Structure 1
Amino acid sequence: MPSTSPRNSAAHRARRGSTARRTEAPARSRPLPLPRPPRSKRRKSSRMTSTSSPPTEASSTRSSWSSTRPPRDTSSWTTTLEFYVWLCRAENIHSVLPKTTVWTNSYWDEFVSLPPVVPLGPVALLGLGAGTAAHLMLKFWPWLQLVGWEIDPMIVDLSRQFFGMSELEKATESGGSLSVHIGDALSLSATVEGGFAGIVVDLFCDGKVIPQLQEVETWLQIAKKLMPGGRIMVNCGGADVEESLSSSWVQNPTVKALCSAFPGQLNWKRLSENESVNYVAMTGPLPDLDEWSASVPSELSTKVKQWVPCELA
């Protein structure tokens, strides 16, 4: 049975040295609506230039179910006042690189709350994309050993050049780093000896959750890759624009599959309209919310208290 209490954050950090890392802002992850300028403003905004410029051409490569297809040209790259943004072919937000801040104000921020409620050990990122989640998690937990899977090699190449992924692959002063694997995140080989302490799942195709994530068996197979007490945290996708913010989790087929796979052991929340209106879910018993709140960065202390258990109707 997984532990229901987060580890003491101060002690947790002390065992691995200072949490101070670098000052640059995070980057990347996957599609789904992120607060962004309207289409007209987005197209008028300036593109990255000089050392931040994307390549003049980037041909599309094979990508079976990965939403992270490389841009066909630089029109898929844009910059707003606060973010460098990489748009997928369907013009959903694929990855972001905050320029002057740390937080994305979207579902990527939620992944930062996972380390305090899982055992010590490696954390998998299934659906690495350009690495938004990895930037955030290593910013606040620089001792983490992240292991990411991305299906498209060109995404990895471009991310190393323009989204700072190569810096994440270097060890921090506290010993943390990102290990990048190119391949199918759902393959049996996407694992490590001893299992993962946590698994972050963020897998999309053309702006939609891949269909495998709506199948109970997929989640049972992913769970086998966890060490005892480990948890899975999932970006379950955005809601239909017709739905109200009070809509139940039953409106989301990925959450429904998760709830069936882990009865009595699943929690969920829905982000606000200002945060992309995504559903996110996490396996395991609901942690002590007060302890969890005290163990995360202050910007997340209120947000973690919004988690609730998922109960079958």
Structure 2
Amino acid sequence: MFSPLYPPILPPGPIGILGFGAGSAARLILELYPEVVIHGWELDPSVIKVAKEFFGLVKLEKKYPGRLFIYVGNALNASIREGFSGILVDLFSKGSLLPELEDPNTWDKLRKCLRKGGRVMVNVGGSCVEAEDSRRDGKVVMEDTLKAMQRVFGENLFVLHLGNRKDDSSIALTGELPDLVAWKKALPHSLKYYVDMWIPFSE
């Protein structure tokens, strides 16, 4: 889900991945940014088991000893003593964003896990998300999640819309928007054009 737009605009320090899945985001970041240490949380142990058996997670752990730490447990309780420089949030259940992400208290808790200058990047889904519960409309859940984030992060909340429709799939980013020219220079060529796609969130 996440492309490695992240480390160039973060202070030094470890990154937390909440919703580790098969480890695709971790693999990209570890390969592109050799200074980054990742702590990943995944609630379902069977997901980690599948990742180890079929998606090369065992090899990834061996390749990056001391840089990749994986925990099985509730990602919303994730924390480390020194704080995260960045947190990636990709938390879905039954085809929908976790309901807890629509609660400002969740974002206040995660904000307190960041070190100074740290940011949160979130897969907030969109109209493309089809939940098992038909009452959880993907677009509405996305908007409610963004509103909850805005109550905590205020005007320092930006959204990047992907896909063919305006709200097809979206990612949110917290913190002041950095110098865009410097950000582009720090990114691989194939990712530079994403920088100009971030817009301030407005209800």
What range is the shorter-chain TM-score in?
A: 0.7 to 0.9
SS of match in other structure, 2:76:
coil
Match for residue 75 of structure 2? Answer: 185
- Distance apart, 1:154 and its partner CA: 1.5
1:291 paired residue among 182, 190, 196: 182
List gaps (5 residues or longer) in structure 1. 1-106, 242-247
TM-score norm. by structure 1 comes to: 0.58
For 1:250 and 1:212, how far apart are their aligned partners in 2?
11
The match for 1:60 is none
User: Which residue of structure 1 lines up, in the alignment, with residue 198 of structure 2?
Assistant: 307
> Aligned partners of 1:281 and 1:307: how far apart in 2?
9
Q: Per the alignment, do residues 278 and 240 of structure 1 end up closer, same or farther by CA in structure 2, a change over 3 Å counting? A: closer
Identify the residue that residue 41 of structure 2 maps to in structure 1: 149
Question: How far apart are residue 231 of structure 1 and its match?
Answer: 0.3
Deviation of 1:204 after TM superposition, in Å, equals: 0.1
The runs of at least 4 aligned residues of structure 1 exceeding 3 Å deviation read: 248-251
Q: What SS does the aligned partner of 1:231 have?
A: strand
Q: Match for residue 272 of structure 1?
A: 163
Q: CA RMSD in A?
A: 2.3
| 1:98 counterpart residue number | none
**Aligned partner letter, 2:109:** Q
Q: 8 Å contact 1:232–1:283 — kept in the other structure?
A: yes
Deviations 1:180-226 (A, max 9, x none): 00000012xx2111100000000001111010001111000011100
Letter of the 2:179 counterpart? D
In structure 2, the CA distance between the partners of 1:176 and 1:300, relative to structure 1 (3 Å rule), is farther
- Correspondence 1:62-73 to 2 at 5 A: none
Asked whether the 8 Å contact 1:293–1:305 carries over to 2, the reply is no
Asked if 1:237 corresponds to 2:125, the answer is yes
Residues 122 and 280 of structure 1: CA distance in aligned 2, closer, same or farther (over 3 Å): same
Counterpart of 2:85 (choices 180, 197, 200) is: 197
**What count of residue pairs does the alignment treat as equivalent?**
193
Partner SS, residue 260 of structure 1: helix
Q: SS of the counterpart of 2:34? A: coil
Radius of gyration: which is bigger? Answer: 1
Distance 1:139 1:145, change over 3 A: same
Deviation (angstroms), 1:176? 6.4
Conserved in 1, the CA contact under 8 Å of 2:92 and 2:98?
yes
Unaligned runs of 5+ in 2: 130-138
SS at match of 2:75: coil
Q: What's 2:18 paired with?
A: 126
TM-score, normalised via structure 2 length: 0.87
User: Do the aligned residues in 1 keep the contact of 2:36 with 2:67 (CA within 8 Å)?
Assistant: yes
Q: 2:115 matched to which residue of 1?
A: 227
* 1:80 matched residue in structure 2: none
Structure ranking higher in helix proportion: 2
